[in-house]
Structure 1
Amino acid sequence: MQVFIAEDNYYELERLRRQVQSWGSRHGGVSITAVQCVAEVGPADLRTYDVVFLDVELPGKDGFAFAQELRGAGCSADIVFVTNHPELSLKGYTVHAQDYIIKPVEQERIDAAMDYIARNCRLKERRSIVLQRGISQQDR
């Protein structure tokens, strides 16, 4: 599973990275990219990611604005906002966020979010659509 984390506070970034890594070590591994600023990150570059953890308050561009850019670029990753501001949680629905975690983040909360996302990823992989072209009178 590919995970992207954006958190401007270095200590919180490292804590979140370790928590996601801990979950991954128990569930088959994860590949993590962690940054303190998203200003130089191209939203299209994240289209292959499964999960994007975003702090709401980021330097230069806030997490909500970046999430809008991700969706606009066709990124279907599950977005999880991580913040000190519970009053902003409803704003996450505008970009179809999967979750909204209030700091300080506990391991159990990361585990629950990642478990849910992993289950959904497996369901997405199992789904397939088979389309058959019908033959109309004109095709005969």
Structure 2
Amino acid sequence: MPPRALIVDDEAPAREELRFLLEEASRGDEAADSVQVVGEATNGEEALLLLDSLDYDLVFLDIRMPGLSGLQVAQRLRDKQNPPSIIFTTAYPDHAVEAFDLAASDYLVKPFDADRLRRAVERALAGGQVKDDGDDAAEDDSPHQGTESGSIPRPLVRIPVQKDGRTVLVEGDAIVYAAAARGYSSLKLVEEKVLVSFSLNELERRLHGHFYRVHRSYLVNLRYVRELVPDFRGTLVLVMNDRQRSRVEVSRRQARELRKRLGI
């Protein structure tokens, strides 16, 4: 029997869009194709009734809904003997830490695409959880400078950021550095810090050229590097040219290549 999924969202267009993306994600992918949406709920109370009446394998769960929130629903599901895997789908990135404390398989911030959804489904069906560094798989400190083997670098794209219910497109040149967080990434801009649903690996694929992976947890815009400061452990710390003079750690493995790229 294919894995059974429940979609929980108080907005009908959001439920329809998720169904559409699941269909898109299933093309040419056996794991995503096996998912069967057999229920929809418009609020947390309705979701719990459906979850009590049928064993679901996967729940796509919005967070901010009338009545019970998605986090409250997830909390109650923890008491079930065989709880379903949970993928949060929300327009608000600020509950990611709480979501992963509830052992969510993934946390998708709208808008997301079919490819991102496919990976979330694969992870959920495999029984996995997003790594603390927010990347899709375990990795070392080796740099991946925005290209695949033998491929032409992709053009610079703007990064969508959710702010006050709006999607704001941030230019790559406005990003001082990106940092891996739990289930998402943060972008440090000159004046502020914002959260995005992209992993650091995904951002690295989108942002190339003058961006360099100085650490498994940091992707830096080299145009904003102000100073290189050795720390007490013999490694480097970058002082960035933003308002806060942010400091970014450089791994030992990347220090030599970084100096070359900066012409030092």
Q: TM-score range by the shorter chain?
A: 0.7 to 0.9
Q: Give how far 1:19 is off.
A: 1.6
TM-score, scaled to structure 2:
0.42
Tell me which residue corresponds to 2:120.
Answer: 113
> Which segment drifts farther, 31-40 or 89-98?
31-40
Whether contact under 8 Å (1:68, 1:95) holds in the other structure is yes
Matches within 5 A, 1:20-31: 20-24=22-26, 26=28, 27=30, 28-31=33-36
Tell me which residue corresponds to 2:7.
Answer: 5
TM-score, scaled to structure 1:
0.74
Tell me which residue corresponds to 1:133.
Answer: none
What code does the residue aligned with 1:9 have? E
Whether contact under 8 Å (1:23, 1:111) holds in the other structure is yes
Residue 65 of structure 1, aligned match among 60, 69, 72: 72
What code does the residue aligned with 1:87 have? D
Tell me which residue corresponds to 1:92.
Answer: 99
Q: Distance in 2 between matches of 1:54 and 1:45?
A: 17
User: CA offsets per residue over residues 16-69 of structure 1, 9 Å max, x none?
Assistant: 0222233346424322112222313324335x2111110001111100001111
What code does the residue aligned with 2:68 have? K
Q: Distance in 2 between matches of 1:3 and 1:22?
A: 16
User: CA offsets per residue over residues 74-131 of structure 1, 9 Å max, x none?
Assistant: 342111111121121000123211110000121111111112223449xxxxxxxxxx
Larger strand proportion of the pair: 2
Q: Secondary structure at the residue paired with 1:53?
A: strand
Tell me which residue corresponds to 1:36.
Answer: 42
Q: Distance in 2 between matches of 1:38 and 1:25?
A: 30
Tell me which residue corresponds to 1:51.
Answer: 58
Larger helix proportion of the pair: 1
Which sections of structure 2, spanning at least 5 residues, go unmatched?
129-264
The alpha-carbon distance between structure 1 residues 72 and 86, as it changes in their structure 2 partners (threshold 3 A), is same
Q: Distance in 2 between matches of 1:119 and 1:91?
A: 22
Higher-Rg member (1/2):
2
Q: Report percent identity of matched pairs.
A: 27
Q: Secondary structure at the residue paired with 1:72?
A: coil
Q: Distance in 1 between matches of 2:87 and 2:21?
A: 14
What code does the residue aligned with 1:44 have? D
Whether contact under 8 Å (1:38, 1:61) holds in the other structure is yes
Q: Distance in 2 between matches of 1:72 and 1:24?
A: 31
> Which segment drifts farther, 28-37 or 99-108?
28-37
Number of equivalenced pairs = 120
